[in-house]
Amino acid sequence: MHKYRVLGKKGEGTFSEVLKCQHIKDGTYYACKKMKQTYDSLEQVNNLREIQAMRRLSPHENILELIEVIFDKKTGTLALLCELMDMNIYELIRGRRHYLAETKVKSYMYQLLKSLDHMHRNGIFHRDVKPENILVKDDLLKLADFGSCRSVYSKQPYTEYISTRWYRAPECLLTDGYYTYKMDLWSVGCVFFEVLSLHPLFPGANEVDQIAKIHDIMGTPDASILNKLRNKTRGMNFNFPPKKGTGIQKLLPHASQESIELIFQLCTYDPDERISAKQALKHPYFKDVRDADKRKHQHAAVKKAEEESGKMSPNSVDEVNAKTNNNNNIISTKEVDVTYQPQQRRRRKPRRFQEPDKTYHTTSLLPKVAQSSQITASNVSSFPTMSSFPSSTFPKLHTGPSMLPSIANSHYNKHHQHSKKTTTFQQPTKTIYGHYQLPSIHKGKGTQF
């Protein structure tokens, strides 16, 4: 606890007290549930049902999140650090003079049923659903206090004196611990009525009075239900005189007919006939909340997909809203399969004529000329001359002037187009190396190129 500063006490129960804490470094507020019991080892702490259940059920938007488990080996003290909520349902309705808006009540009950449906799907039932264990923050509801939870698959009988008396199901009151996860739904029906009416449904002073309060409103159960409960008890013979209850509708004149019908299905005597959390979420009473929740999750899914793909634009929110409102508020997304193919190599066209393997001396201005194997390195020039060609290449004399300058010249004069003078050619002479030398060309007055 050295990382946190205790600011005050939020509440106290039989087995623990709740403190408001603040992180010293970042200033974040938390709720600290400090246990009154001490523990011997960390293994004993990890085996606690509450810690195991919270770790198993997280993360869920309607389940209180466990942030950290703080265990002091020296003193044996244990503290559970959780997120901080504003208040519980009991604090919300206590002392109110006006009813809560039914839209808010509907939203709260829908979230409560979602949390229980998540628990029951994971094989856990709460066993202590009551207004004090249901926390709210603005429009968000979260179920808390999992100290009494139990596995759905554990062996019966369970503890008899479980749950708070006002919210205890008849099978818990009349049997020797033979009850199922359906007891949570009876408690939800009692909480539902209390949030609508601002007063408890069955406020019994003791167990006998509790049963009498249930009979006053719901009437006595049928003989078949009593026989089923009688088979699960020892040494208890209960014969209730037939009584017709006042009903729930007279106690909630301002509530809708659908809400009264749902409370009646939740508070059914026979647990086998009692509605489940999954079935209750599909009740017509929650139609508008269910549609809004569906749009919310679709919007979040599209936004998350766009953020992951890195294509979030300033107009993405408007585009998502437009998609959500189309097609009866149903968004269909298609996955695009991208196939990567290797780049094909460009094939070169085959040469039209096969050329012999020869070496070439060329420039960018003159065509390629094959080099004779008899020419030595000293006679090779960057520009080919007539001496570079073998005798078989030019068996006859040239009939026109050569357009190439002499190798010995570093420059040449410009041609004069207007002067027309005869040019005489001489026979090429053979050098000592066996090659032909191009003779000098004389024009007019003997100008040498």
State the residue range of the domain holding 154: 87-282
Q: Say whether both 63 and 120 belong to one domain.
A: no
Determine how many CB atoms are found less than 10 A away from the CB of residue 173: 18
The answer to whether residue 388 sits within a structural domain is no
Q: Say whether both 252 and 107 belong to one domain.
A: yes
Nearest alpha-carbon partner for 267 in 310, 325, 215, 226: 215
Look up the pTM and report it.
Answer: 0.67
Return the residue matching tokens 């999140």.
65
Q: Say whether both 266 and 118 belong to one domain.
A: yes
Query: In Å, how far are 297, 322, 388 from 329, measured between CA atoms?
Result: 12, 9, 87
Return the residue matching tokens 């998502």.
320
Q: Say whether both 126 and 177 belong to one domain.
A: yes
Is residue 95 classed as helix, strand or coil in its secondary structure?
A: coil
Q: How many residues does the chain have?
A: 449
> Of 446 and 29, which is predicted with more confidence?
29
Angle at 161 between CA 155 and CA 163, to 5 degrees: 95
Last residue of a domain, one of 236, 256, 282: 282
128 is catalytic: yes
Considering the candidates 26, 86, 117, 128, report the single residue annotated as catalytic: 128
Nearest alpha-carbon partner for 179 in 127, 129, 215, 116: 127
As a whole number of angstroms, the distance between CA 40 and CA 77 comes to 9
Mean pLDDT, all residues of the chain? 78
Q: Say whether both 114 and 220 belong to one domain.
A: yes
Q: Say whether both 107 and 240 belong to one domain.
A: yes
Least reliable range by pLDDT among 177-181, 261-265, 364-368: 364-368
| pLDDT tens-digit readout, 252-307 | 999 999 999 999 999 999 999 999 999 999 999 999 999 988 888 888 888 888 87
| pLDDT tens-digit readout, 79-106 | 999 999 999 999 999 989 999 999 999 9
Last residue of a domain, one of 282, 312, 332: 282
Last residue of a domain, one of 60, 84, 108: 84
Instruction: Please provide residue 173's backbone torsions phi and psi, each rounded to the nearest 5 degrees.
Output: -80, -30
Q: Say whether both 252 and 278 belong to one domain.
A: yes
Q: Say whether both 75 and 92 belong to one domain.
A: no
Q: Say whether both 227 and 101 belong to one domain.
A: yes
The answer to whether residue 389 sits within a structural domain is no
As a whole number of angstroms, the distance between CA 316 and CA 302 comes to 10
Nearest alpha-carbon partner for 142 in 188, 108, 175: 108
Return the residue matching tokens 């999954």.
278
Longest C-alpha distance within the chain, in Å? 153
| pLDDT tens-digit readout, 341-365 | 445 555 555 555 555 555 544 444 4
For residue 6, the model assigns a pLDDT of 92
Q: Which CATH number goes with the domain that contains 68? A: 3.30.200.20
Number of domains in the chain: 2
Give one word for 327, left, alpha or beta, with left for phi > 0 and alpha for psi -120 to 50.
left
The answer to whether residue 328 sits within a structural domain is no
As a whole number of angstroms, the distance between CA 54 and CA 71 comes to 16
The answer to whether residue 380 sits within a structural domain is no
Q: Say whether both 224 and 255 belong to one domain.
A: yes
Q: Which CATH number goes with the domain that contains 147? A: 1.10.510.10
The answer to whether residue 2 sits within a structural domain is yes
Q: What confidence category does residue 54 fall into, taking pLDDT thresholds of 50, 70 and 90?
A: very high
Q: Say whether both 95 and 68 belong to one domain.
A: no
Q: Say whether both 120 and 169 belong to one domain.
A: yes
The answer to whether residue 134 sits within a structural domain is yes
